[in-house]
Structure 1
């Protein structure tokens, strides 16, 4: 039996958050393919989305443009949903230099990379969950090197 998404927070939505939560939930229930939640840094966008996840009880994939923001959101979602599986998937390279040719100096630069084994283990955990029976949601096609996700499953 799967666990429901239970939001762990001492705070309740306030200010514009209740309206944003309601409008996002209505949009999802109406089948809107795209919605935007805008807010300044620290305005509670992540908390707002966590409330939507808890209210609608839907597995969710969160995408971010870089590893720094990905790690921040992963940590916040782990705190919001400590009883649920929150997975993290980013490129496992700490450093990646593709091969290159510099015509002006007739120089060939070999590919060089450094793999982070801890991140690789986290990627494998996320893949395992994706391939399990717990997966009942759609997958977004994304370029390999720009995608990361946090997956919250019961």
Structure 2
């Protein structure tokens, strides 16, 4: 089953460059990467775009239950 991102939003600002760089790094065999951004900068949406482009199994970690619930709510809207 393919992951397909369904959203009216499009990557903007630094997101297109971040998506391209993360995808390129994955294609080059870089396994560990970190995406840093301030609250509300679109990190979850950026990673959803990376998942769609790569179709790789992905584990998203959250350091507490509150953030895990927030991530779940965001991902299920895509």
Please report the RMSD computed on the Cα atoms of aligned residues, expressed in angstroms: 0.8
Match of 2:57 in 1: 59
Summarize deviations over 1:108-152 as a string: whole Å, max 9, x none: xxxxxxxxxxxxxxxxxxxxxxxxxxxxxxxxxxxxxxxxxxxxx
Among 26, 30, 33, the residue aligned to 2:24 = 26
RCO (CA 8 Å, sep 6+): is it higher in 1 or 2? 2
Q: Distance in 2 between matches of 1:35 and 1:58?
A: 14
| Higher normalized helix content (fraction of residues) | 2
Structure 1 unpaired stretches of 5+ = 81-154
Aligned residues: 78
Structure 1 runs of 4+ aligned residues shifted over 4 Å read none
Could you say which structure has the larger radius of gyration? Answer: 1
| Higher normalized strand content (fraction of residues) | 1
Task: List aligned pairs for 1:5-154, cutoff 5 A.
Answer: 5-80=3-78
Q: Distance in 2 between matches of 1:64 and 1:30?
A: 26
Q: TM-score w.r.t. structure 1 length? A: 0.49
Q: TM-score w.r.t. structure 2 length? A: 0.94
